[in-house]
Chains A and B, each alone.
Chain A
Amino acid sequence: MSVTIRRYEQPPWCVLRVAGELDVVGAPELRQAVVSAVAEGIRLLAFDLSDVDFLDSFGIGVIIGALKRLRQRGGDMVVVCPSRRIRRVFEICDLDKILALHDSIEQTSASPTTPAAAALAGEGHG
């Protein structure tokens, strides 16, 4: 098992806390968790990647897929990734420009949920 996923509520977000490696093996498990959550009607999803040791394009693909599913339904998502190593992969793919990246789950509770507002808030954090 390369990832474990724990799901809990931290209003307004439904949080998926992921531990392990989001690669070709682990990413499909996260995709399944996203698909299930969206099917249940969840529209505000937070990915807590604090315990993710490794992320490559397969993990990024799942995040992009989630963003698409949620925004198509008027929802939104945030990502918690305090690790520089993990954040760097988001930055190389330019996803930091369209996603709110946070250092902690507590930071996300006050965060705006529209993409445009999130982008503006992101600029403020530098």
Chain B
Amino acid sequence: MDDLSASSHGPIASFAVSKIGNAENGGIEIEIPARTDYVSLVRLVVAELAALNSSLEPERIDDLRVAVSEATTNAVQAHIRSDCNQQVRVSCHCSEGAVLVEVADQGPGFDVNALPKMPAVEHPERLSHESGMGLLLIRELADELTIDSNSEGTEIRLLFRTARASSSS
């Protein structure tokens, strides 16, 4: 872990539980250092909170766990790449039928429209793409995805709905 110590001198992770007990808006705010070994903590907390405070089906909680992991890893890596010492912020708000997760970083941002397309899986070139699948996975897993990115940072919003809420909307 010594190789990570350069980015570990900031404050440790902080958690602020917001409005727990109000079923309409149980939520949590998490701030973590830009360290990859904090990502598992974030997905654990968010998935457990969503399981406690929403009616999301277990399979959708699994989807949420993967999507949150991808988004948080991207944010952490954006900070590491740009030597940004700020914390990465993750918030999760739950209601009966939906879970909203927001992941915000202060990295250099990226052009959402310029993301490379992945070749079809049968194409030989596909095996050259060992990375870049994170956003593809998030797109497939979340019911709604919003990405705001500019030179001052990126904010990704993921919305997961229960099957019942999705079918009635």
| A residues lining the B interface (CB < 8 Å) | 2, 21, 23-25, 54-58, 60-62, 64-65, 67-68, 71, 84-85, 88-89, 92-95, 97-98
Contacts A61-B130, A65-B130 given; does A95 touch B40 at CB 8 Å: no
A60 contact set on B, CB distance < 8 A = 133
For the complex, is B70 an interface residue (Cβ under 8 Å from A)? yes
Chain B's interface size range is: 20 to 34
Query: Can you report 25 A-B residue pairs in the complex whose CB atoms are below 8 A from each other?
Result: A2-B37, A2-B40, A23-B73, A24-B36, A24-B76, A25-B40, A54-B43, A54-B66, A56-B70, A56-B137, A57-B131, A57-B137, A58-B131, A61-B130, A62-B130, A65-B127, A68-B130, A71-B127, A92-B140, A92-B141, A93-B136, A94-B120, A97-B122, A98-B121, A98-B126
A88 contact set on B, CB distance < 8 A = 59, 62-63
A58 to B43, CA, bound (A): 15
Other 16 A-B pairs with CB < 8 A, given A23-B69, A61-B131: A2-B37, A23-B73, A24-B36, A25-B36, A54-B43, A56-B70, A56-B73, A62-B130, A64-B130, A65-B130, A68-B127, A68-B128, A84-B59, A85-B59, A89-B66, A93-B121
User: Distance (Å) between the CB of B62 and the closest chain A CB?
Assistant: 5
B122 contact set on A, CB distance < 8 A = 97-98
B136 contact set on A, CB distance < 8 A = 57, 93
A62 contact set on B, CB distance < 8 A = 130
Closest to A20 in B: B40
Closest to A99 in B: B121
Give which listed residue, B63, B73, B137, B141, contacts A24 with CB less than 8 A.
B73
* B69 and A61 form a contact (CB under 8 A): no
Contacts A56-B134, A56-B137, A61-B133 given; does A67 touch B127 at CB 8 Å: yes
Closest to A63 in B: B130
